[in-house]
Structure formats: C-alpha cells, structure tokens
Amino acid sequence: MPTVALPDRPPFAIRARLLSPLASGGTLHEADGLVAVDGDGSLSFVGAAGAAPPDLVAGAVDVRPWIVMPGLIDTHAHLPQLPNAGLGFALDLLTWLDRLTFPTERSWADPAVATRLAPAIFRAFAAVGTTTVLAYGVVYEAAMEAAFLAAEAHGIRAILGKVMMDRVTYDPTIEPGTILNRSLREAADLIGRWHGAADGRLGYAVTPRFAVSCTAEMLRESASLARSTGSWWQTHVSEDPGEIAEVARLFPGARDYVDVYDRAGGLGERSVLAHAIHLSDRELARLVETRTRVSHCPASNLFIGAGVMPLARWLEAGVVVGLGSDVSGGPDPSLFSVMRAGAYAQMARRALTDEDRPPLEPHAWLRLGTLDGARVLGLEDRIGSLEVGKEADVIVVDPGMTAPLSGAGAAPDLDPGLLDDPGALVSRLIFRAHPDMVRGAWVRGEKLEGAS
C-alpha cells in the first residue's frame, strides 16, 4: 500500500492505474498511467506514464496499485435524510415520508442543526467518492444557507435546492395562502447568493418536491423561476403506484404524470426528474423530445419497493440517464452500491419479464455514475471523465480492498491478470465495493475532507 501523502491542492501529478469512460465512447484503461493537474485545477495530462514529460513523472506522487478515476456524480439525494439511511425498508412512499422523512426535515427548522450536520454530510459523500451532488434540502431558507456555506467550505461540487411544498407541507409555521410567494422569494434569494458561487462550483436547483405536494401554480411558478435565472429544476416523477394514483386524483385535467410537469413548463434539458419508473410510451417519448434528464435510483427503488425501471428500454429510447443514491430512500450514499443494486435489479427484470435486451456491462454502470451523470447536469464538457482540459474532479480507489481475502488476514490477493482486464476490475469495484476503498477525492484539484 502506498505510504505517500496525497496532494492537497494543485498543481500536482499522480502516477496510478487510470480508469475512465471517454466522451467519444469506450474506456480509458492505463495500467501505469499519470494524471497531471495544473495550477487552475484542470487536467493537463492524462495517459501512459511512459509518454508523460519526464519532469511530470519525476514530480508525481506514485500511488500504484491504486486507481485514479473520475469522481462520482450523484444526481439525486436528500441532504437532511442522511442520518436516516438504512431505515424504513419497504414502507410505501407516502407512509415513509410521513413517518420518517418529514419529521427529520422538520428538525432543520433550527438552522443550527443544519450548521452542525451539513459538513459531516458532505464529508460522507466525499468518503464514498462522490465529488458532485445534486441534492434536495429542506423547506427552510436559513437551513439552506447553512448547507450552502458548508458546501462552500468543504469543496464538494454541489447543486442544492430549498424544497418547495404548498399542498402538504411539514412546516406548521407557514400560514396557508402565503406559502407560494414566500417560497418563491426565498428560492430567489438563495439563487442570488449561491447560483454560480465559488467560481461555478455551487449551483441552485429550484426544487418543487413532487406533484403530490405542489399545486399547479407552484409547479408553474417554480419552473418559470428556474428558466429566468438559469437554475436547474428538479422534482420526482412516477416512482410508486400509490403516488401515481394520487397525482391522477389531484390533476384530473392532465393526461398523465409527466403531463403535469409539461403543463407547468417544467420539462427541458435543465430539468432532472428522479425515478421515472412507470412511464407510458407517451411519457417516455415526451421526456426524450424535451431532452428532460432522468436520475435513476435503483437502490432506493428496491429499498422502498417502488419498482424496477426498464432502464435498457429508456436508454434505447434516448433518455439521458444518470444515477442517484436518493439517500435516504436509498440506504447508502455510495454510487458503487447503487450500481450494484441497479445491475441486480435489471437481472431480476430480465428473469421476470420477457425483456430480452442484454444486461448492462460493468463499464456501462461506471459511465452512468460518472460521465452520464455529468450529461444529466449539462456539465459533461467540464467533469465526468479523465480527459485533458476537464476540471480535476477525481478519486483514488484502492482495489486491494475489494479482494475476497483482504478482510481475512491475508495480503490483498488481486491477481495481476485480473488487474489487466479493466472489465473484471470494474466488476470487482461494483460488486465487492468496500466502504473505505476511496482513498482520496478532489474537486478542481482541491482535496476534499472525508475520503481517506
């Protein structure tokens, strides 16, 4: 195991095995590679160490046999819910919200709670290799201010939004009839302070929770706010049969669930809809047509029992899909664990339905958690892969921790032949992910606290 200290800030170079999806398709795999980060935190060299300028090689921190990979991109999570991770198995969605989630979010009415917890929450994401997170917060502006301050100080790339709810809200202090205007005003305040802050590392997503807890007016006004400010817009769609029935009851004039958001002006390439499991052909076509993004959260979907997305069909139709932990609908912030849950779920779907599309390979899951996540956010020209010119959002992973005998007192037994097969290596990282295998995480070359 390398004993060298990992670099804290740019410029630096790391010599390691490199593994990354490529924008042009395919995978970069370099057994003895080198990445160099320039003083601005961008990747200035990615490739074989033997092809790197000698001064870079001489100054590089050698972490072999560890792997440098792009940082993971979580396109759907709920910040305040992290302490609940692992609780509420198999409660249906609406019961789960009432019993577990809303009481937890209500505790952030005291901004001191957010100030105390948010730094640890961002460290928890970094610890599992997540360098970018698109997340929901709570309905309280002061708590969101604290969350943004924590993200700014931590260094993670974060797009956050104050949750908007004007139909069923958990905040008893808000007078009915004033919620819409107050919620829009507070979101606009936060956008003014935080959207594009930290040199573009922080962003704002206007966040109406979902159609069950928002009136048509709030959905429409929130979408308009996102458009006029260049913010993202995020919500949930078509997760659970009970929720879908409730939306049909609340919006009798809409053709279907997606149409509720369509009529509000909420679809488009800056919109990220979480789940999107039970879509009709019409809804699917409309998401493709409007280039609306989807966050696939398979671990959450299995944990709550919402269903199994026909992922292969959605991808074939041309939907831009990334991965989301949906903590704490999902029990684990690690996207490696989300990839594993997704892969199992797709195999179960193949066994139980007549779908005959081939299962996604491990590389495809890694791409969903990195470069495709960047596409969901429209940030694929800046992050998501190890390619020269991109910002250095990278992680270092110790593959020895995935070895079957490493926890049994034997030396890590990764077979060198296995390491030379990138497909086998990614398979090990996904199906035998270890909670501590991420040894370092950087955003723009600045090391994040949490990974060790």
Question: Where on the chain is the footprint of Zn ion (CB under 5 A)?
Answer: 326
* Whole-number Å distance between alpha carbons of 226 and 220: 10
At closest approach, how far in Å is the CB of 360 from Zn ion?
A: 22
* Whole-number Å distance between alpha carbons of 83 and 93: 18
At closest approach, how far in Å is the CB of 326 from Zn ion?
A: 5
Query: Measured from the CB atom, is 79 or 151 closer to Zn ion?
Result: 79
Give the residue nearest to Zn ion (CB).
326
At closest approach, how far in Å is the CB of 209 from Zn ion?
A: 9
Query: Measured from the CB atom, is 326 or 380 closer to Zn ion?
Result: 326
Query: Measured from the CB atom, is 326 or 446 closer to Zn ion?
Result: 326
Residue 426's closest CA among 22, 67, 65, 15?
Answer: 67
- Tokens standing for residue 445: 């070359």
Query: Measured from the CB atom, is 236 or 447 closer to Zn ion?
Result: 236
β-strand pairing of 163-164 with 394-397: unpaired
DSSP state of 139: S
Query: Measured from the CB atom, is 131 or 234 closer to Zn ion?
Result: 234
At closest approach, how far in Å is the CB of 447 from Zn ion?
A: 29
Helix, strand, coil percentages, rounded to 5, for the chain: 45, 20, 35
Q: Quick one: 180 exposed, middle or buried, by C-beta within 10 A (0-12, 13-18, 19+)?
A: middle
Query: Measured from the CB atom, is 158 or 397 closer to Zn ion?
Result: 158
Kindly give, in sequence order, each residue whose CB lies less than 8 Å from that of residue 47, ignoring residues fewer than 6 positions away.
18, 30, 33, 34
Query: Measured from the CB atom, is 240 or 326 closer to Zn ion?
Result: 326
Residue 70's closest CA among 28, 101, 118, 114?
Answer: 28
Query: Measured from the CB atom, is 186 or 326 closer to Zn ion?
Result: 326
At closest approach, how far in Å is the CB of 173 from Zn ion?
A: 24
Region of residue 370 (left: phi > 0; alpha: psi -120 to 50; beta: else)? alpha
Residue 352's closest CA among 364, 341, 344?
Answer: 344
Rg of the chain over Cα atoms, rounded to whole angstroms, equals: 21
b/e burial code for range 202-212 (CB count within 10 A of at least 16 → b): bbbbbbbbbbb
Would you tell me how many other CB atoms lie within 10 Å of the CB of residue 263?
17
